Chains A and B, each alone.
Chain A
Amino acid sequence: VLVSGTVQLFHTCLVNEIAPEVGMAAARLLERRGFDVAVPLDQTCCGQPAYNAGFHDEARAVARHTLAVLEATEGPIVVPSGSCADMIVHQYEVLFHGQPDWRQRAHAVSLRTRELSQLLFESRPAAPAAPPPGAPRVAYHPSCHLLRGLRVRDQPLALLADTGAELVAFDDQEECCGFGGVFSIKSPEISASIMDRKLQALETAAPERLVSCDLGCLMHLGGGLRRRGSAIQVQHLAEALDEAGS
């Protein structure tokens, strides 16, 4: 189990542009676990938007850049997103199927890459600090690439439970939220219909917060909740944990 040394933060494009506080929270969490956090500043995006939209030559160009940036570093690579982590861990090797040298390089980087909750769970203190009183009612949305791509199911829940949060279950919790990246703007009606089912289930469960490990899902669900005038707030796992002093 890793508990010290330098970790490389692949902050993801969305965190960089839209929600920098998620990256800062992730860095603080990792530092409190004893890691030194380094940020490779030439990173841009993992290339997933192009890959999922069928622009595979373009995705390969971005992936080659990302691999070159990450190869120049050492230690675990930590990603505060299930879908970006899955892109690096699983999809790069698919993308470079016909290019053995790049496939090999992708494989080497994939072995170093962890989604944030995986690393935080593995480095969890034996006896977590007593949770502060008055912790919120939290619903957790398992994002698809984290759950079914990286097979991370229990770690985020355990980390949230450590904060003393009251975890609220809701109907069809493991069903997709309908975001799907480019799908959300190319097929907005279908995307919104799936979102509506999710939000309805959430509103029935009535948590104070909705926490997830993927900013894409959170932007989609949070934007939908705001349009509905809902009081449920969305929050990235990193912020929820950081706020609770994990």
Chain B
Amino acid sequence: VTAAALPPFADRARTALADTNLHVALGRATGQLGSRRALAFSSLEDSERIRDQVRRTKMELLRDLASHLEQFEERLVAGGVRVHWADDAAAANRTVLDIARASGVRRIVKSKSMATEETHLNETLEGAGLHVVETDLGEYVVQIGRDRPSHIILPIIHMTREDVGRRMNETIGVPYSDDPATLARYAREKLRDEFLAADMGITGANFGVAETGTICLVTNEGNGRMVTTLPRVHVVMMGIERLVPTMADLDLALKLLARSATGQKITAYTSLLRGPRRTGDECGAQEMHVVLLDNGRAEILAGEDAEILGCIRCGACLNVCPIYKSIGGHAYGDTYPGPVGAVVTPGLKGLRRWSPLPEASTLCGACRDVCPLRLDIPRMLLGLRGRATREGGAPAALRTGMKAFAWAAARPTAYRALTAVGRWVMRAKAHDGWIRRAPGLAGGWTRFRDLRAPAARTFQDLWRERSPGTRR
């Protein structure tokens, strides 16, 4: 979907709410994830202290990101890696395309990467006539259906296994099955040839270690290892915020990532890469590049929501979010869905156009509680709402109403008079103490629920009657 064609958030949400299949798929997955996460954390001694420590490390790193990036670049270069800086998505994609052209690349395999999803790298590469294949099973299913991922770590959480079976049957011609193992085998057979024929492998990075210039990549399918070792060129695209200072910090962060993301103690494959193949190495890329992507991150870092750059992309906040459970990931309209996306997307792409995302929250705090780094997403959502309102983003009726409310609420006599009128108006619409259809803004309420009518006499009325001496 191109940006211009994207319908408004309310419409996207409505479409998602009407999709019963989506709710079956989301219900199956999010419930399971929650209990697995809890179990995985119960096996981690000192988990609360580790969370605090990783949070502190990451926040300190962000306060001095420039010097950590400098160190990271220096170590990468020393290890034989070519480092590229990209201010925005277009520059990042151009860089990768230039690398591909300079090395005579025709076939590319990718492992899962949110950064390249963010820059729409595949479209650029395919537009230039290159053959690109996603090798993470979920991303592969996304790609063959010309779909978009709807979750940070579970790209096809919006699909049931029956959906996946149908899609694979229709697009790549394998027999229909709804057995996950069979579907994985089909994909593996298709992908094996791709791995062997590819000239270039593209990955993201779960973490970059500044002190050592290490790229850390975790996968459960082993495809990351294939993508980084079989093709002769390996390109990493990563956001500039994805660093940790030291290997010891990486160790702690990985403990949290696997548990929070998939409820595992450790992912099946953890790759640590420190440059291209050296003399005597039996495998590995001959050429390795790291593209460091800004694309709005420096601006977030300079603003009130720098904290969100501590996100380690585990997706736990999505799984516990009541809004995400209702509308899924696609309705958020961009790369990063859920609570984290509601902060990141306006930060990367501008609040004016994306202000409905911070509004799409009950501020219930489940995201903050589950976040391994305790990122205070509700606080950031409130801040974004404040900025959106200051910049004129609120509907006129709400603005007028809020101004009147605030004016009166600071003046008790006026407040009592105005609320008395309000009670009278509402009570006139009530039957047996309930309103079935309310006018104006309250109409949204009564579309789905009855509205309890105000009381004939306020608490203060009753209280003064009970304690006649009470002075107002």
Inter-chain contact B409/A219, CB cutoff 8 Å = no
Q: Which of A53, A175, A186, A190 contacts B17 (CB 8 A)?
A: A190
Contacts of A55 in B (CB 8 A): 386, 389, 394, 399, 402-403, 406
A41-B470, A59-B406, A65-B410 known; A52 vs B452 contact (CB < 8 Å): no
Q: Does A180 contact B (CB under 8 A)?
A: yes
Q: Does B379 contact A (CB under 8 A)?
A: yes
Q: Does B6 contact A (CB under 8 A)?
A: no
Tell me the smallest distance from the CB of A190 to a CB of chain B, in Å: 5
Q: Does A32 contact B (CB under 8 A)?
A: no
Inter-chain contact B445/A17, CB cutoff 8 Å = no
Q: Which of B361, B405, B419, B462 contacts A50 (CB 8 A)?
A: B405
Inter-chain contact B322/A176, CB cutoff 8 Å = yes
Inter-chain contact A144/B365, CB cutoff 8 Å = yes
The number of residue pairs between A and B whose CB atoms lie closer than 8 Å in the complex comes to 212
Inter-chain contact B444/A185, CB cutoff 8 Å = yes
Tell me the smallest distance from the CB of B290 to a CB of chain A, in Å: 38
Inter-chain contact B450/A187, CB cutoff 8 Å = no
Contacts of B452 in A (CB 8 A): 18-19, 219, 222-223
User: Chain B interface secondary structure, helix, strand, loop or mixed?
Assistant: helix
Q: Give 1 or 0 for each of B315-335: 1 = CB within 8 Å of chain A CB.
A: 000001011011100000000
Q: Which of B384, B389, B461, B463 contacts A27 (CB 8 A)?
A: B463
Contacts of A195 in B (CB 8 A): 448-449
Inter-chain contact A183/B450, CB cutoff 8 Å = no
Q: Please classify how large the interface on chain A is, using the bins under 10, 10 to 19, 20 to 34, 35 or more.
A: 35 or more
Docked complex Cα distance between A17 and B415 (Å): 11
Contacts of B50 in A (CB 8 A): none
Of residues 409 through 448 on chain B, the ones whose CB sits less than 8 Å from some CB of chain A are 409-412, 415, 419, 422-423, 434, 441-445, 447-448
Q: Does B457 contact A (CB under 8 A)?
A: yes
Docked complex Cα distance between A47 and B390 (Å): 17
- B320, B387, B406, B460: which has the most chain A beta carbons within 10 Å? B406
Docked complex Cα distance between A64 and B453 (Å): 29
Contacts of B458 in A (CB 8 A): 16-17, 20
Question: Which residues of B are at the interface with A, using a C-beta cutoff of 8 A?
Answer: 10, 13-14, 17, 320, 322-323, 325-327, 359-366, 368-369, 379, 382, 384-390, 393-394, 398-399, 402-403, 405-412, 415, 419, 422-423, 434, 441-445, 447-455, 457-464, 466, 470-472
Question: Which residues of A are at the interface with B, using a C-beta cutoff of 8 A?
Answer: 11, 13, 15-20, 22-24, 27, 39, 41-45, 47, 49-59, 61-62, 64-65, 94, 144-145, 148-149, 175-176, 178-195, 197, 219-220, 222-224, 226-227
Query: What are 11 A-B pairs with beta-carbon distances under 8 A?
Result: A24-B462, A44-B410, A55-B403, A65-B411, A148-B364, A180-B363, A183-B359, A188-B444, A188-B448, A195-B449, A197-B322
